[in-house]
Amino acid sequence: MRPLSVDSLNPSIAKVEYAVRGELAIKAEEYREQLRQLDHGLPFDKVISSNIGNPQQKGLDQPPITFSRHVAALTEWPALADLAPNAFPKDVIARAKELGEEIGSIGAYTHSQGVPFIRKNVAKFIEERDGYPSNPAHIFLTGGASAGVSLLISMLINNPKAGVLIPIPQYPLYTATLAQHNGVPIPYHLEESDGWSTSIETIEEAIERAHRDGVVPKALVIINPGNPTGALLAEETQVKLLELCEKHSLVLLADEVYQVNLHRPDDHPFTSFKKIVAQQQSPVPLVSFHSISKGVTGECGRRGGYFECTNISDDILALIYKMVSVGLCPPVSGQIGVDTMVRPPQPGDESYELWKKETDVIHEALRHRTMTMSGRLNSLPGVSCVNSPGALYLYPQIQLSDKAQEAARKAGKQPDAFYALALLDATGICVVPGSGFGQKKGEWHYRLTCLCPGVDEYVNKLEKFHEEFIEKYGV
Amino acid sequence: MRPLSVDSLNPSIAKVEYAVRGELAIKAEEYREQLRQLDHGLPFDKVISSNIGNPQQKGLDQPPITFSRHVAALTEWPALADLAPNAFPKDVIARAKELGEEIGSIGAYTHSQGVPFIRKNVAKFIEERDGYPSNPAHIFLTGGASAGVSLLISMLINNPKAGVLIPIPQYPLYTATLAQHNGVPIPYHLEESDGWSTSIETIEEAIERAHRDGVVPKALVIINPGNPTGALLAEETQVKLLELCEKHSLVLLADEVYQVNLHRPDDHPFTSFKKIVAQQQSPVPLVSFHSISKGVTGECGRRGGYFECTNISDDILALIYKMVSVGLCPPVSGQIGVDTMVRPPQPGDESYELWKKETDVIHEALRHRTMTMSGRLNSLPGVSCVNSPGALYLYPQIQLSDKAQEAARKAGKQPDAFYALALLDATGICVVPGSGFGQKKGEWHYRLTCLCPGVDEYVNKLEKFHEEFIEKYGV
């Protein structure tokens, strides 16, 4: 028989790229294995995974919120409430009991759209956040935000000339999903010199360019707070973006998974697109995504999240339901994680004090690290870095000399990938080259997370490497 | 702006059908809501969901295996080992500690292919089951078997004339996924009169027919034990199926999620395709799927499973890795469920006795119910039912009179859907019409699970309904 070959597979698959877990991450894993040997011969003693927003991973070790795990453990094995009555706060016991009554065993498939009771709680959370009604029937619980984004894009792409407007830099889930489903990414650049702001004109130009190419824009992706940029949209901009969507009949896909990761909320607050749509009584179809993987919960491994549909007709909601039903249901452990996120302990609850302390520590650590890192990176020759007001990342721009670019070419790498590989080889720090997120021609960046404890020692390594790199290759 | 309309969406989405959670299941959920009212006006007091293999759901209430939940609760909150030292058997504490050391926090993303340690344990399980080597690098942990099947089919369909051979009756995941990814289902019928056996000739005919239609068969789907049929393949047939795959350059997709649901293992044992491939030194590319949702674990809600690739080249494995990395990782709670399934307690472990008792009870209950139900269904006029030796289902054939067919036509329903709706309306029992799984023209079936406790009372309801139905419509 002919062996199965890559050439015989779906050609769309070959086009998919996802740098966050690409070459750098794979090499970092190999180093991690190598470090298990006593005589590993590497110039570092640990790998630091700054490539992905994964707060609880080994080496970063952001502790989980105790309340979340209390509820999770008790829903896994409800008998513990009697077997270990002193191990759990009273509000946790009540919460787990309530969830148990609604869900039954967490080992059963739930409603494909997610447990109705949890969707009601999500709707209440949205109503309290925004001050406008939310309908549980329009909410779908998902296995992380990615699953929802992928589903929506697969539904919107109705032919190979259908496109989706994507910010550059972007989170590469969007281009990966578009490649998989044969849609056209329509890039629009964010303004680095203006703190990675979003420009209506730039998007209008991208739409015109698409039309000239025979591409039909179907949707606009906005990531707010930005990934990898950390930028936050002002409400005036959000209003204009809605007007733009209305003018061009675009569905708005609002990736809002970093909505509570705000480092300077007084100057840079978060406003949901749902609120603006309601306020403006806008007819724009909106799908808003949220997740338990980021924020202060950081429960990436549970795979939990939701999306809320606004201005989406019942027949389309029925289609979405049909599609999610083929996958049966989102992970129940993730659904319970969503419930915990949208219903944290309240003042007076036995769990409240600890919850407050733990979440304050996480917020403060992120704020402190982001500021320290951006400040020190900015003082390096050939590096400039927007002091990100939100999310978990920095996206510094690096100047790379002709000599460095030539060395990269010889190594068969993009210059920023060459820099990032050299950083990994020298320090064990794994970042993602800007080519994975997109950047203007001739510019080079990398994304790194602000999750590593011991920020001073960490930045020392980045600095030392950078100085050695420019000593070798010039600025 | 134009409102977003169904017509503007991906046309493949409209073609997707998934009857297991379709019209009947939606109506059953509505009845369940209605029953919450005191004055509900329905002729039954509970809805029995026999439409889906979901053992732990409310009303069926198959208890989870204690060992699984012990491990799950302790990995959620490891401090419980100290806070409630007497609540957990020693082997559970050791297991949770071992998993914690390997995984770190279960709130972190894992390796996209699944935790390496758990994949090693899966490989050991396969080696012990089959007596042949298994490579952890060729194993992918998934969010249930469905996620893996969907991924593989999306990769194999390389153009709209690519087809996949699907047994009829089938589990509708296959046709749903093919519709979504624009592939062509190539049906081959199983032999009901021979206990739903698989015929090589029938498959050869289907391949010839496909070629005549310009369709290129890429893969053969085998569900063993069968769903909805419960049939088990004999090893001689498996050898011939491999020869057929080799002859026609087909990838074999072996859905083996019911491999431990065996009611008469002496006459109808399970042999994995992996074993036959190894034994025969066959070059056929094989992907074997397994799941924690079925078997005795029945942990559907965790979303856990795996697939093992055999005779699949490294470059294709790298492509699969890339695709799963876009979704980041399978739910960790499901991954831990896989570990628990492939490493049950052993004689001498503190958990062993209870685990043995619990799993024996589940096996015996399924065996007893399947036999009772098939026996009593067979004695009804116009009903014939293969006494299924495996899986969780029966798939009785029902004769429907001209009068019944005419009434169905007037109601705008398929005759078997008409029958199933009438059954739901009269008894609260929700089954899935055969049209959701496929059947020969002019034949009618339905699928029901063998999971309902109180089997005698349950079958009483089926009998009473059937008698009233044929009284009204004749045989």
What are chain A's domains?
6-62+357-473 (3.90.1150.10), 100-342 (3.40.640.10)
The whole-angstrom distance between B141's CA and the closest CA on chain A is 13
Is A6's CB within 8 Å of B144's CB? no
* The predicted structure's pLDDT at residue A443: 94
**Which site among B4, B280, B432 would you substitute to test the A interface, given the most A Cβ atoms closer than 10 Å to its Cβ?**
B4
Cβ contacts from A onto B, under 8 A: 294
pLDDT reading at A86 higher than 90: no
> What is the pLDDT, as a whole number, of residue B298?
93
What integer pLDDT is reported at residue A472 of this predicted model?
Answer: 94
Q: Which residue of chain B has the CA closest to A317?
A: B6
Q: What pLDDT does B4 receive?
A: 87
Task: Check if A333 contacts B (Cβ < 8 Å).
Answer: yes
User: How confident is the model over A432-460, as a mean pLDDT?
Assistant: 92
Bigger pLDDT: A26 or B284? B284
Rounded mean pLDDT of chain B? Answer: 94
Q: Does A147 touch chain B (CB under 8 A)?
A: yes
Q: What is the pLDDT of residue A40?
A: 93
Is pLDDT of A278 > 70? yes
Q: Say yes or no: A155 contacts chain B, CB-CB below 8 A.
A: yes
Asked if the Cβ–Cβ distance from B58 to A330 is below 8 Å, we say no
Task: Give the per-residue SS3 of chain B.
Answer: CCCCCHHHCCHHHHHCCCHHHCHHHHHHHHHHHHCCCCCCCCCCCCCEECCCCCCCCCCCCCCCCHHHHHHHHHHHCCCHHHHCHHHCCHHHHHHHHHHHHHHCCCCCCCCCCCCHHHHHHHHHHHHHHHCCCCCHHHEEEECCHHHHHHHHHHHHCCCCCEEEEEEECCCCHHHHHHHHCCCEEEEEECEHHHCCECCHHHHHHHHHHHHHCCCEEEEEEEECCCCCCCCCCCHHHHHHHHHHHHHCCCEEEEECCCCCCECCCCCCCCCCHHHHHHHHCCCCCEEEEEECCCCCCCCHHHCCEEEEEECCCHHHHHHHHHHHHHCCCCCHHHHHHHHHHHCCCCCCCCCHHHHHHHHHHHHHHHHHHHHHHHHHHHCCCCEECCCCCECCEECCEECCCHHHHHHHHHHCCCHHHHHHHHHHHHHCEECEEHHHCCCCCCCCEEEEECCCCCHHHHHHHHHHHHHHHHHHHCC
| Percentage of the residues of chain B whose pLDDT score is greater than 70 | 99
- Candidate from B108, B300, B303 with C-beta closest to A57: B108
Which chain B residues are within 8 Å of A300, Cβ to Cβ? 107-109, 328-329
pLDDT of residue B452: 87
pLDDT in tens, B91-105: 999 999 999 999 999
A317-375 confidence digits (pLDDT tens): 999 999 998 888 999 999 999 999 999 999 999 999 999 999 999 999 999 999 999 99
> Is the minimum CB–CB distance between A202 and chain B shorter than 8 Å?
no
In this prediction, residue A29 carries a pLDDT of: 87
How confident is the model at residue B356, as a pLDDT?
Answer: 97
pLDDT of B128 over the 90 cut: yes
Does residue B21 have a pLDDT over 80?
no
pLDDT range class, residue A1, cuts 50, 70, 90: low
pLDDT at A118: 97
Mind telling me how many Å the CA of A46 is from chain B's nearest CA? 15
Given this model, what pLDDT does residue B1 score? Answer: 64
Note the pLDDT of residue B60. Answer: 80
Percent of chain A with pLDDT over 70: 99
Contact flag B80-A61 (C-beta cutoff 8 Å): no
Give residue-wise pLDDT tens across range A182-216. Answer: 999 999 999 999 999 999 999 999 999 999 999 99
ipTM for this prediction: 0.93
Q: What is the mean pLDDT of residues A283-288?
A: 97
Q: CB of B85 within 8 Å of any CB in chain A?
A: no
Tens of pLDDT, residue by residue over B442-465, are: 999 999 999 988 899 999 999 999
Interface check for B38 against chain A (CB to CB < 8 A): the answer is no
Instruction: Inform me whether the pLDDT recorded for A261 exceeds 90.
Output: yes
pLDDT at A2 over 80: no
Res. A21: pLDDT tops 80: no
Q: Is B101 on the interface with A (CB under 8 A)?
A: no
What is the chain A residue with the closest CA to B58? A104
Q: Over 70: is that where the pLDDT of A3 sits?
A: no
Percent of chain A with pLDDT over 90: 86
Residue A190 Cα, gap to closest chain B Cα (Å): 23
pLDDT at B139 over 90: yes
A157 contacts B107? CB cut-off 8 A: no
Choose from B300, B323, B451 for mutation: most chain A CBs within 10 A: B300
Question: What integer is the mean pLDDT of A41-62?
Answer: 89
- Mean predicted lDDT score pLDDT of chain A: 94
Which residues of chain A are within 8 Å of residue B293 when distances are taken between CB atoms?
Answer: 109
Q: What is the mean pLDDT of residues A439-464?
A: 92
**pLDDT higher than 90, residue A294:** yes
